[in-house]
């Protein structure tokens, strides 16, 4: 009997369009002999179509597992994961805690720092409550200004002077009330895919070669002029270090199922810094998460199957937990 998979996509975040593209790629790759797909689209206004998931009498919604493909706010931040937990439905990817932690750049960095993992120096600000001169005196230029709870490089600016800081902060404030300002790392950008629950493993890392100042939204999804190097041009020792840090980051923020961990390599010091984990990485035709696993010997369709199996495995383990006396 086929597994009925609900693909949940769209959503209210600024990454709505990316979600649509990722979902189409995932659906096209699903084995029709094993899976029956039900599309559940969420509009930009938050309306669910064709129907929301709600348990029927007897607790069976007619869905075996949910594949959330909701990048960013209201999808990757633990909100939808909490709804699926309440509905007692297996779902792909990190749980409520891991999703919420990984979505918040400040909390992520604090947890990584507590584990002794390398992160760039940063300052956390609240919308409208900051002093430009104070920020300029606390970190060296260049700086990166980011919304604390968004992905796909939405709302991010690279700032080279104090005069550029105010407009960059205003731009980030459009997307979040909490803003992260961090020291810019001059060097190279890498990504590493991680897969698993209790015993996660890392794939072969890749290098991103931006066509602009940094790997921003336009470079990722619109211009198509950035380049990637897979496998990354790293020594065997450096590759092992990226993989070690990727798994350590994954475990520190309580990820499950999948995540892509992004890195910055500082040329001057030869040191890798963890930039951030992404619990629902892109699955578009140009997305590196599935490409890294393909390079590691796991084809796209097999990867989708493994992710669904991991979701079912975790749900079965959770069912063994008592929630009442």
Burial 131-143 (b: 16+ CB within 10 A, else e): eeeebbeebeebb
For the segment 7-48, what is each residue's pLDDT rounded down to a tens digit?
A: 999 998 878 898 999 999 999 999 999 999 999 999 999 999
Catalytic annotation on 211?
no
- pTM to 2 decimals? 0.88
For the segment 142-196, what is each residue's pLDDT rounded down to a tens digit?
A: 999 999 886 556 789 999 999 999 999 999 999 889 999 999 999 999 999 999 9
Local confidence band at 56 (pLDDT 50, 70, 90 cut-offs): very low
Catalytic annotation on 151?
no
Identify the residue whose tokens are 């990867």: 303
Least-confidence region, from 129-138, 256-265, 302-311: 129-138
**pLDDT tops 60 at residue 59:** no
- Options 282, 287, 305, 314, the catalytic residue: 282
CATH of segment(s) 122-183: 3.30.1490.20
pLDDT at 149 (0 to 100)? 81
Local confidence band at 60 (pLDDT 50, 70, 90 cut-offs): very low
**pLDDT tops 80 at residue 296:** yes
For the segment 75-115, what is each residue's pLDDT rounded down to a tens digit?
A: 999 999 999 999 999 999 999 999 999 999 999 999 999 99
Mean pLDDT of the chain: 90
pLDDT at 170 (0 to 100)? 93
Catalytic annotation on 282?
yes
Fold of 3-93: Rossmann fold (3.40.50)
Catalytic annotation on 262?
yes
| Domain spanning 101-118+185-303, CATH architecture | 2-Layer Sandwich (3.30)
Catalytic annotation on 15?
yes
- Options 149, 152, 157, 287, the catalytic residue: 152
Domain-wise residue ranges, the chain: 3-93, 101-118+185-303, 122-183
Catalytic annotation on 322?
no
pLDDT at 214 (0 to 100)? 56
- Options 104, 173, 176, 262, the catalytic residue: 262
Local confidence band at 206 (pLDDT 50, 70, 90 cut-offs): very high
């Amino acid at each position: 009997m086929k597994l009925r998979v609900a693909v949940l996509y769209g959503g209210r975040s600024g990454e709505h369009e990316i979600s649509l593209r990722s979902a189409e790629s995932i659906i096209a790759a699903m084995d029709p002999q094993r899976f029956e797909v039900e599309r559940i689209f969420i509009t930009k206004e938050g309306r669910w179509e064709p129907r929301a998931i709600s348990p029927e009498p007897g607790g069976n919604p007619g869905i075996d597992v949910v594949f959330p493909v909701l990048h960013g706010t209201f999808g990757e931040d633990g909100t939808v994961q909490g709804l699926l937990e309440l509905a007692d439905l297996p779902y792909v990817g990190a749980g409520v805690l891991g999703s919420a932690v990984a979505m918040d750049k400040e909390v992520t960095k604090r947890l990584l720092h507590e584990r002794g993992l390398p992160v760039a120096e940063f300052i956390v600000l609240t919308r409208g409550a900051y002093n430009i001169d104070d920020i300029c005196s606390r970190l060296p230029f260049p700086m990166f200004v980011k919304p604390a709870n968004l992905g796909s490089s939405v709302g991010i600016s690279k700032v080279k002077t104090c005069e550029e800081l105010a407009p960059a902060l205003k731009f980030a404030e459009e997307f979040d009330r909490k803003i992260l300002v961090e020291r810019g790392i001059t060097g190279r950008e890498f990504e590493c895919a991680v897969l698993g629950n209790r015993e996660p493993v890392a794939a072969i890392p890749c290098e991103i070669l931006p066509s602009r100042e940094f790997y921003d939204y336009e470079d990722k999804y619109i211009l198509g002029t950035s380049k990637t190097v897979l496998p990354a041009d790293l020594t065997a020792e450096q590759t092992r270090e990226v993989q070690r840090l990727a798994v350590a980051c994954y475990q520190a923020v309580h990820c499950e199922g999948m995540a892509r961990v992004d890195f910055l390599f500082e040329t001057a010091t030869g040191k890798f810094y963890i930039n951030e984990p992404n619990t629902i990485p892109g699955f578009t035709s140009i997305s590196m998460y599935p490409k890294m696993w393909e390079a590691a010997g796991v084809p796209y369709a097999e990867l989708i199957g493994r992710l669904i199996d991991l979701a079912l495995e975790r749900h079965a383990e959770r069912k063994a937990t008592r929630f009442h006396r």
